[in-house]
Amino acid sequence: MSYDILVIGAGPAGLSAALQARVRGKSVLVVAGDDRDNALYKAHQVDNYLGLPGLTGAELLDRFAAHARETGVERRTGRVLGVMPVGDRFYVSIDSDMKEAGAVILALGVSRGKKYPGEAEFLGRGVSYCATCDGALYREKRVAVVGLSADAPEEAAFLKQLGCQVTYVAAKRPEHLENDIPFVKGVKLEIRGEKAVTVLEADGEEIPCDGVFLLRPSLAPADLLPGLETDGGYITADRDGRTNIPGVFAAGDCTGLPLQVSKAVGEGLVAGLRAAEYLDQTRQK
């Protein structure tokens, strides 16, 4: 299925952008990870959002999401692994699926954390970002799941069901990790191997494995869309939310400071309107 606009991120910026684009009559798909990974979801109380003081971040997020849904915004939960421009269209890979759109709005929030040693070197040779996509390649094999996202325990259970021998690695054992999945505490990680991965080292402990699933809530913007201009980890965008790639817009925390709801909502509005105009202009050509 093809959409006018695909928005990556269901925080204040992404939902605001999606709503504005719907108001302009565009078909919109919002793709986002688990709500529990959303920055706003973690706010105990938000007192500086105009007109709606005293709500928890989760309550505010629910209101934003309900409003966007009522206008006809479609929503899908998943991890976006890459955006590929082809002519004036964009192909967006979501877990093991692909969607097409005429414009893309990046509302990714802040991507935290550097790459681990060995991660880039062994990407595709044992390192994966997606259990759904690559899990079947590791049936009967030993895999380590590095759990950084809220849905990582479910993904570990899915890999176990496929027949993988799973070890779960994280700073702290998650409450809902299945009891029979071994847990190793690890913050300082290194991936090693020869032709392919053979070991994950976690805080000095060696875990022999054939695959390492790095399950993060987000990817660095430039990894998602090669060629995208960034500065200090933030996406470079002008006042209209335009990035250096025609048809790609950005809004919210991913464009820089201040990291605040009001700024995200405002930038989302601008990006949604400009993306709708961009589509109208490209169709007239």
Ligand X SMILES: Cc1cc2nc3c(=O)[nH]c(=O)nc-3n(C[C@H](O)[C@H](O)[C@H](O)COP(=O)(O)OP(=O)(O)OC[C@H]3O[C@@H](n4cnc5c(N)ncnc54)[C@H](O)[C@@H]3O)c2cc1C
- Positions touching ligand X (CB under 6 A) are 8-14, 31-33, 37-40, 42-43, 46, 48-49, 79-80, 107-109, 217-219, 224, 252-253, 259-262, 264
Q: How far is the CB of 201 from ligand X (least distance, A)?
A: 26
Q: Which is nearer to ligand X, 109 or 118 (CB)?
A: 109
β-bridge mates for residue 234, sequence order: 231
Q: Which is nearer to ligand X, 45 or 282 (CB)?
A: 45
Contact 105, 191 (CB under 8 A): no
Compute the distance between CA of residue 157 and CA of residue 153 in angstroms, rounded to an integer: 6
Q: How far is the CB of 218 from ligand X (least distance, A)?
A: 3
Compute the distance between CA of residue 126 and CA of residue 140 in angstroms, rounded to an integer: 14
Contact 272, 265 (CB under 8 A): no
Contact 268, 276 (CB under 8 A): no
Compute the distance between CA of residue 52 and CA of residue 60 in angstroms, rounded to an integer: 8
Does residue 182 have a cis bond before it (omega within 30 degrees)?
Answer: no
Q: Which is nearer to ligand X, 130 or 200 (CB)?
A: 130
Q: Which is nearer to ligand X, 66 or 196 (CB)?
A: 66
Contact 17, 269 (CB under 8 A): yes
Which pair of structure tokens corresponds to residue 270?
A: 């601008």
Q: Which is nearer to ligand X, 9 or 241 (CB)?
A: 9
Compute the distance between CA of residue 140 and CA of residue 11 in angstroms, rounded to an integer: 38
Q: How far is the CB of 25 from ligand X (least distance, A)?
A: 23
Q: How far is the CB of 202 from ligand X (least distance, A)?
A: 24
**Taking Cα atoms as reference points, which of 33, 41, 3, 38 lies closest to residue 21?**
3
Query: What number of other Cβ atoms are within 10 A of residue 204's Cβ?
Result: 8
Which pair of structure tokens corresponds to residue 223?
A: 């990894």
Q: Which is nearer to ligand X, 207 or 225 (CB)?
A: 225
Q: How far is the CB of 182 from ligand X (least distance, A)?
A: 28
Q: How far is the CB of 106 from ligand X (least distance, A)?
A: 9
Q: Which is nearer to ligand X, 31 or 131 (CB)?
A: 31
Q: How far is the CB of 81 from ligand X (least distance, A)?
A: 7
